[in-house]
């Protein structure tokens, strides 16, 4: 909301600097967003053209002599064509500054000295809407003689100076979307008197509007009040300079006196108005009703709009003449020679206007005011203010009387309050009287004895005691509330167990050299094809956003892989040699489709990397993670060849007690190609929930061994398809109690090994808790192990 300081000062004295005003009103709740200084020009004065001669060396230039009130005439070269001797014009002197910041200096134009510049309205920061008489391309020529003003600054003479303060008004304060609303706040903030405009109407035309028009409201919920007054002998002309200036300050384009008056009242009082040609209303009967199915109206901007029954229209018995609160119809527009004009000042339901404006795609100054909610009690004053301005401007003669259809009057309401409670909430010690003073400043009537506040109807936001507490705080000063640290019942600040595990996972990833990433959680349904996920996969049961930013952002992900693969692709295609990325993020799994209850949102750890590494680099990281979480012993790794986007021979499933909780391995080269990655990619996806459930952070001490260990190395020949996991399970089973640990130290295929076989070598360590092992002990166990390997896996001990 842009507010002209000069307009504001009509209703309240602001005797501090504008800067101080802006600071203080911001701290009392009307936040200032910016300041625009209009007419910020200097050394541009009124001058009179005394001589005009042709430039000796340039056909398109003229050499003028200008009287600017100094002893000598000023020689100025100009390209303008609209000058005659005797014209009064704005003259930018040597050293002057124009509206856009340009500095004017004297100099030579094609060899002829020029001591300044003659100005157009644009150079003064204005346009043809401020000065309709200004030529389209040319120097501004004052329409009346300015002999007494020669040499004076034009910003004063032309009245172009002003300061416009831009406010951010919050949605709870529709009353502040007006000059008067801000004036009321200003008065309360600065401790000044708020002067409400004196509204008087002479109504010289006599008669009575009630004889000219009748109004019927069919839907009082959507239109609580409809007020109208009429004028006749309308003279349509441009409105005077002061009114145009004020409309411009509010960002509104002046049109003609009648339209300008409606806009002026809207800016000043916050009441949108509409003016009709009364002759276009058939039967002289206005009906405020819901639109009919498929009804159409051509609005003032010439566009045909489709209406539906949720929308409210102003109509006569035959046709709609306006979309209520949004825009008038072309069919009732005021044209030259209109005999009588009807001013509508009505109150429409905010949400309904908002939805209508959205549906018809037409958000107007009027609709944006209505959608915030307007006090119906404003309508009568506003229409009177409008016809008062008609009289002031001589735009017509006002007819007596008012049509006022107001089925359910909005009354003031009373709120009990307790100064103790308010002080208790704020942590202040404001006296009851001080509170009452604050309330009265903002037109709340107070019964001081009983602490009852009577709320004016323009403050619907004041519904309860807490709202009154805010009013006290605002004017007492938020800055004066003393900061304290809440004592109360102490609480322990800590992470939950699952948050702790999540932090640990992150720490392990980072310690393993991975960079954490952030990815979008909604994506394109095409992701499933990109990952070759079968058509009947459950993963394709997705939650779809009904109003997405586009198909690419339309489903909530059920797999995390796409985000990290896109990130790897970005890195790969930017020629980054390696990238090791991870993300801890959610997937969104619907319980049923279409969804009726909230989905599950399990978190996944996703790792994605490429560069100098192989499968076992990734496995090392995964193993390290399980080790840190104290769950390494529980995890089983098995070959996994069924995940469509993973390499069928280089993927492992991870499980605990037979329950799978993730997989890792090499990405399928086809999938890598789908993401434009031309190298091997390693991927891990692990359920965070399983990590949280299986982590074991509390360790019990085991006594250190007292007796020495014995280590035996064996190398065996097994068929290629025998996996290490099976060998180890035999060793573990046969090794019994004495087995302490085993470690794989060699896997070899080559010249001395038959095709289809490999050599696998283990170092096996035995230890007893109660004695030193002797060879016989160990030999016995080793024999069991070797037998087991031979019988179960066909392993042959290799000759040393």
Partner 1 sequence: MKDQLKAIQEKALLALDEVKELKELDDLKVKFLGKKGELTAILKGMGKLTAEERPIIGQLANEVRGIIEEKLEEAKKSLSEKALEAKLKAETIDVTMPGKQCACGHKHPMSIVIDEITDIFMGMGYEIAEGPEVEKDYYNFEALNIPANHPAKDEQDTFYINGDILLRTQTSPVQVRVMEKGKLPVRVVCPGAVYRSDEVDATHSPIFHQLEGLVIDKGITMGDLKGALAVFAKELFGEDTKVRFRPHHFPFTEPSAEMDVTCFACGGKGCRVCKGEGYIELLGCGMVHPKVLKMSGIDPEEYSGFAFGMGLERVAMQRYGITDLRLLFENDVKFLKQF
**Which residues inside 65-104 make contact with partner 1, applying CB under 8 A?**
none
Among 191, 302, 361, 483, binds partner 1 (CB under 8 A): 483
DSSP structure string for 340-407: EEEEEEEE--HHHHHHHHHHHT---HHHHHHTT---TTHHHHHHHHHHHHHHHHT--EEBS--EEE-S
Burial, 577: exposed, middle or buried (Cβ in 10 Å; 0-12, 13-18, 19+)? exposed
We find the least distance from the C-beta atom of residue 572 to partner 1, in angstroms, to be 10
Q: Between 115 and 517, whose beta carbon lies closer to partner 1?
A: 517
Three-state DSSP state, 329 = strand
**Counting contacts by CB under 8 A, is residue 178 touching partner 1?**
no
From residue 457 to residue 476, the character string flagging contacts with partner 1 as x (rule: CB under 8 A) and all else as - is ----x--xxxx-xx--xx--
Residue with tokens 């595990």: 501
| Angle in degrees, CA 477, 37, 245, rounded to 5 | 105
Q: Between 481 and 632, whose beta carbon lies closer to partner 1?
A: 481
| Angle in degrees, CA 585, 587, 593, rounded to 5 | 165
Among 132, 309, 407, 548, binds partner 1 (CB under 8 A): 548
493-522 residues near partner 1, rule: CB under 8 A: 493-496, 499, 506, 509-522
Among 16, 598, 632, 659, binds partner 1 (CB under 8 A): 598
We find the least distance from the C-beta atom of residue 121 to partner 1, in angstroms, to be 29
519-538 residues near partner 1, rule: CB under 8 A: 519-522
Among 6, 537, 541, 544, binds partner 1 (CB under 8 A): 544
**Counting contacts by CB under 8 A, is residue 425 touching partner 1?**
yes
Nearest by Cα to 199 from 256, 267, 275, 269: 269
Q: Between 493 and 756, whose beta carbon lies closer to partner 1?
A: 493
262-321 residues near partner 1, rule: CB under 8 A: none
Q: Determine the interface stretch with partner 1 among 90-98, 258-266, 348-356, 778-786 (rule: CB under 8 A).
A: 348-356
DSSP structure string for 540-563: G---B-SS-SSGGG-EE-S-SHHH
Alpha-carbon gap, residue 212 to 215, rounded angstroms: 10
- Cα torsion 787, 793, 794, 799: sign: negative
HSE value, Cβ hemisphere, 13 Å, CA-based, for 68? 24
**Counting contacts by CB under 8 A, is residue 58 touching partner 1?**
no
Q: Between 493 and 750, whose beta carbon lies closer to partner 1?
A: 493
Beta-strand pair 296-298/320-323: unpaired
From residue 549 to residue 588, the character string flagging contacts with partner 1 as x (rule: CB under 8 A) and all else as - is x---x--x-------x--x--xx--x-x-xxxx----x-x
**Counting contacts by CB under 8 A, is residue 488 touching partner 1?**
yes
Among 486, 535, 698, 704, binds partner 1 (CB under 8 A): 486
> Which residues does residue 179 pair with via DSSP β-bridges, in sequence order?
none
Residues 6 or more apart whose Cβ sits within 8 Å of residue 546 = none
We find the least distance from the C-beta atom of residue 425 to partner 1, in angstroms, to be 6
727-786 residues near partner 1, rule: CB under 8 A: none
Q: Between 294 and 546, whose beta carbon lies closer to partner 1?
A: 546
Rg (CA), the chain: 42
Alpha-carbon gap, residue 38 to 537, rounded angstroms: 65
From residue 638 to residue 677, the character string flagging contacts with partner 1 as x (rule: CB under 8 A) and all else as - is ----------------------------------------
Q: Between 516 and 746, whose beta carbon lies closer to partner 1?
A: 516
26-45 residues near partner 1, rule: CB under 8 A: 26-29, 31, 34
Q: Between 171 and 772, whose beta carbon lies closer to partner 1?
A: 171
Q: Between 116 and 608, whose beta carbon lies closer to partner 1?
A: 608
We find the least distance from the C-beta atom of residue 223 to partner 1, in angstroms, to be 16
Tokens of 443: 């037109």
Q: Between 18 and 544, whose beta carbon lies closer to partner 1?
A: 544
Among 96, 280, 428, 694, binds partner 1 (CB under 8 A): 428
**Counting contacts by CB under 8 A, is residue 614 touching partner 1?**
no
Cα-to-chain-centroid distance, residue 688: 32
Q: Between 337 and 483, whose beta carbon lies closer to partner 1?
A: 483
Q: Between 48 and 554, whose beta carbon lies closer to partner 1?
A: 554
Q: Determine the interface stretch with partner 1 among 531-539, 544-552, 681-689, 761-769 (rule: CB under 8 A).
A: 544-552
We find the least distance from the C-beta atom of residue 315 to partner 1, in angstroms, to be 24
Nearest by Cα to 280 from 330, 232, 235: 330
We find the least distance from the C-beta atom of residue 490 to partner 1, in angstroms, to be 6
We find the least distance from the C-beta atom of residue 284 to partner 1, in angstroms, to be 35
Q: Are 418 and 465 spatial neighbours (Cβ–Cβ below 8 Å)?
A: yes
Tokens of 510: 């980072």
Angstrom CA distances, 150 to 44, 88, 160, 301, 414, stand at 11, 8, 17, 43, 60
6-25 residues near partner 1, rule: CB under 8 A: none
We find the least distance from the C-beta atom of residue 798 to partner 1, in angstroms, to be 36
Beta-strand pair 214-217/445-447: unpaired
Residues 6 or more apart whose Cβ sits within 8 Å of residue 104 = 43, 92, 93, 94, 95, 96, 97, 98, 116, 117
The CB density around residue 659, as the number of other CB atoms within 10 Å, is 12
We find the least distance from the C-beta atom of residue 525 to partner 1, in angstroms, to be 15
Q: Between 428 and 560, whose beta carbon lies closer to partner 1?
A: 428
Q: Between 589 and 656, whose beta carbon lies closer to partner 1?
A: 589
Alpha-carbon gap, residue 178 to 30, rounded angstroms: 12
Among 211, 601, 614, 746, binds partner 1 (CB under 8 A): 601
Size of site (CB under 8 A) for partner 1: 90
Among 70, 102, 137, 170, binds partner 1 (CB under 8 A): 170
**Counting contacts by CB under 8 A, is residue 704 touching partner 1?**
no
364-393 residues near partner 1, rule: CB under 8 A: 371-372
We find the least distance from the C-beta atom of residue 474 to partner 1, in angstroms, to be 5
We find the least distance from the C-beta atom of residue 508 to partner 1, in angstroms, to be 9
Angstrom CA distances, 696 to 500, 504, 631, 657, 691, stand at 12, 12, 6, 15, 9
Q: Between 262 and 603, whose beta carbon lies closer to partner 1?
A: 603
Q: Between 32 and 722, whose beta carbon lies closer to partner 1?
A: 32
DSSP structure string for 150-205: TTSBHHHHTT--EEEEEEE--TT-GGGSSHHHHHHHHHHHHT----PPP-----TT
Residues 6 or more apart whose Cβ sits within 8 Å of residue 493 = none
Residues 6 or more apart whose Cβ sits within 8 Å of residue 121 = 127, 128, 130, 131, 134, 140
Q: Between 20 and 516, whose beta carbon lies closer to partner 1?
A: 516
**Counting contacts by CB under 8 A, is residue 606 touching partner 1?**
no
**Counting contacts by CB under 8 A, is residue 679 touching partner 1?**
no
**Counting contacts by CB under 8 A, is residue 450 touching partner 1?**
no
Q: Determine the interface stretch with partner 1 among 57-65, 214-222, 546-554, 684-692 (rule: CB under 8 A).
A: 546-554
Q: Are 336 and 390 spatial neighbours (Cβ–Cβ below 8 Å)?
A: no
**Counting contacts by CB under 8 A, is residue 604 touching partner 1?**
no
Nearest by Cα to 23 from 32, 10, 14: 32
Q: Between 475 and 762, whose beta carbon lies closer to partner 1?
A: 475
Nearest by Cα to 522 from 541, 545, 546: 545
């Amino acid at each position: 909301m842009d507010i002209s300081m000069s307009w504001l000062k009509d209703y309240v004295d602001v005797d501090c600097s504008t800067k101080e005003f802006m600071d203080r009103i911001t701290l009392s709740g009307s936040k200032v967003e910016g300041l625009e200084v209009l007419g910020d020009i200097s050394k541009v004065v009124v001058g009179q053209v005394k001589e005009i001669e042709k430039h000796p060396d340039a056909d398109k230039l003229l050499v003028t002599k200008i009287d600017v009130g100094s002893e000598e005439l000023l020689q100025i070269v100009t390209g303008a064509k609209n000058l005659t001797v005797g014209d009064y014009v704005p003259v930018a002197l040597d050293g002057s500054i124009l509206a856009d910041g340009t500095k004017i200096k004297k100099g030579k134009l094609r060899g002829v000295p020029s001591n300044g510049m003659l100005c157009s309205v644009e150079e003064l920061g204005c346009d043809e809407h401020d000065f309709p008489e200004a030529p389209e391309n040319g120097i501004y020529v004052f329409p009346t003689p300015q002999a007494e003003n020669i040499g004076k600054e034009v910003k004063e003479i032309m009245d172009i100076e002003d300061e416009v303060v831009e406010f951010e008004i919050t949605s709870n304060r529709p009353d502040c979307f007006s000059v008067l609303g801000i004036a009321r706040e200003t008065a309360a903030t600065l401790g000044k008197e708020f002067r409400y405009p004196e509204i008087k109407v002479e109504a010289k035309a006599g008669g009575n509007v009630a004889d000219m028009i009748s109004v019927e409201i069919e839907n009082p919920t959507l239109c609580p009040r409809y007020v109208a007054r009429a004028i006749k002998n309308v003279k349509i002309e441009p409105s005077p300079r002061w009114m145009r200036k004020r409309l411009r300050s509010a960002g509104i384009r002046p049109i003609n006196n009648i339209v300008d008056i409606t806009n002026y009242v809207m800016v000043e009082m916050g009441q949108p108005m509409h003016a009709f040609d009364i002759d276009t209303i058939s039967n002289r009967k206005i009906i405020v009703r819901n639109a009919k199915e498929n009804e159409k109206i051509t609005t003032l901007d010439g566009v045909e709009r489709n209406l539906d029954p949720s929308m409210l229209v102003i109509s006569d018995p035959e046709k709609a003449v306006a979309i209520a609160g949004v825009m008038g119809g072309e069919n009732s527009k005021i044209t030259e020679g209109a005999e009588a004009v009807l001013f509508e000042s009505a109150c429409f339901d905010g949400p309904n206007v908002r939805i209508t404006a959205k549906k018809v795609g037409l958000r107007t100054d009027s609709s944006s005011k209505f959608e915030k909610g307007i006090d119906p009690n404003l309508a009568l004053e506003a229409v009177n203010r409008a016809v008062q301005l008609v009289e002031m401007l001589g735009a017509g003669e006002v007819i007596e009387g008012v049509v006022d259809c107001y089925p359910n009057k909005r009354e003031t309401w009373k709120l009990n309050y307790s100064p103790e409670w308010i002080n208790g909430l704020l942590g202040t010690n404001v006296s009851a009287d001080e509170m009452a003073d604050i309330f009265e400043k903002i037109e709340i009537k107070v019964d001081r004895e009983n602490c009852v506040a009577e709320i004016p109807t323009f403050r619907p936001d004041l519904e309860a005691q807490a709202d009154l507490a805010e009013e006290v705080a605002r004017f007492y000063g938020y800055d004066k509330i003393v900061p304290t640290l809440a004592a109360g019942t102490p609480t322990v600040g800590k992470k939950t167990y699952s948050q702790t595990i999540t932090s640990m996972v992150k720490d392990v990833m980072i310690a393993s050299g991975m960079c954490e990433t952030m990815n979008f959680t909604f994506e394109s349904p095409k992701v499933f094809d990109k990952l070759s996920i079968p058509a009947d996969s459950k993963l394709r049961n997705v939650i779809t956003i009904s109003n997405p930013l586009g198909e690419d952002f339309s489903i909530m992900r059920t797999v995390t892989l796409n985000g990290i693969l896109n990130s790897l692709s970005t890195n790969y295609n930017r020629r980054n040699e390696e990238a090791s990325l991870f993300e801890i993020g959610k997937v969104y799994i619907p319980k049923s489709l279409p969804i009726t209850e909230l989905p599950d949102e399990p978190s996944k750890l996703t790792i994605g990397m490429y560069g100098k590494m192989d499968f076992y680099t990734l496995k090392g990281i995964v193993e390290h993670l399980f080790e840190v979480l104290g769950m390494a012993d529980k995890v089983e790794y098995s070959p996994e060849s069924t995940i469509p986007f993973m390499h069928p021979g280089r993927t492992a499933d991870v499980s605990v007690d037979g329950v799978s909780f993730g997989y890792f391995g090499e990405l399928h080269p086809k999938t890598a190609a789908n993401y434009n990655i031309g190298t091997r990619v390693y991927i891990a996806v692990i359920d965070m929930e399983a990590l949280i459930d299986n982590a074991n952070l509390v360790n019990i001490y085991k006594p250190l061994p007292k007796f020495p260990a014995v280590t035996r190395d064996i190398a065996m020949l097994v068929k290629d398809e025998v996996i290490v996991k099976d060998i180890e399970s035999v060793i573990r089973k046969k090794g019994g109690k004495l087995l302490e640990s085993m470690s794989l130290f060699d896997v070899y295929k080559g010249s001395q090994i038959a095709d289809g076989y490999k050599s696998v070598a283990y170092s096996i360590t035995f230890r007893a808790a109660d004695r030193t092992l002797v060879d016989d002990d160990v030999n016995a166990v080793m024999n069991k192990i070797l037998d087991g390997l031979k019988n179960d896996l066909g392993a042959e001990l290799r000759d040393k």
